[in-house]
Amino acid sequence: MAGYTSCVLWKETMAPKTIAYRLLRLGRIRPRRRYQLESEDVQVLDEGVRVGIIYRHYKAPGKRILYRRAVGSGAVVVTHKRLAVFFYGRPVIDLPLSDERIAALAFTAERSPKGRPSLRISFDAADLDPKCSGHVALFIRTNRAEDLVRTLGRAGS
């Protein structure tokens, strides 16, 4: 395990885990991918957190979505080299921090009406993949939202 255990595994910094994660381990990072990410010196790793995805006017080869919202269990990982967001174990975003496309992502820390912190990542799909168009927003419920915005905001500029 990398040096992230001392800062992330404290109860006050971890987000509440979803019921799907607690019962079935849905939303975890697959072992082979986790090993790859841990070799890159993990800064933040939070799995089993609630992740919401909203697609608006999204078009991709073979897909046309006017509006779709999906909520489930996932994970967010920030290493010294990359940002990765997973939804039910599958990568939604997996970008090196040195990639120029990271500047196209908008990071904001928000609070729900109940006061729960979350990280919002929004972007135009064409900025990440030229074959796609539309707007995508990810909502990740994590207590480390402000820290992630500061870290990722520096990486994007």
Q: Which two tokens stand for residue 110?
A: 């928000």
Which pLDDT belongs to residue 136?
96
Which pLDDT belongs to residue 5?
47
Which pLDDT belongs to residue 155?
61
Q: Are 79 and 95 in contact (CB under 8 A)?
A: no
Which pLDDT belongs to residue 74?
92
Query: pTM (2 decimals)?
Result: 0.83
Q: Among positive and negative, which fits the CA dihedral 111, 11, 79, 51?
A: negative
Residue ranges in the chain whose pLDDT is less than 70: 1-15, 154-157
How far apart (Å, rounded) are the C-alpha atoms in residues 152 and 121? 10
Q: What is the CATH number of the domain that holds 46?
A: 2.30.29.30
Domain that holds residue 40: 5-156
Domain count, the chain: 1
Q: Which two tokens stand for residue 66?
A: 């006017």
Which pLDDT belongs to residue 89?
86
H/E element holding 56?
Answer: strand 42-60
Residue 133 is which amino acid?
A: S
Buried b or exposed e, range 44-82, using 16+ CB within 10 angstroms: bbbbbbbbbbbbeebbeeeeeeeeeeeeebbbbbbbeeb
Which pLDDT belongs to residue 143?
86
Q: Are 152 and 83 in contact (CB under 8 A)?
A: yes
pLDDT in tens, 135-147: 999 999 988 888 8
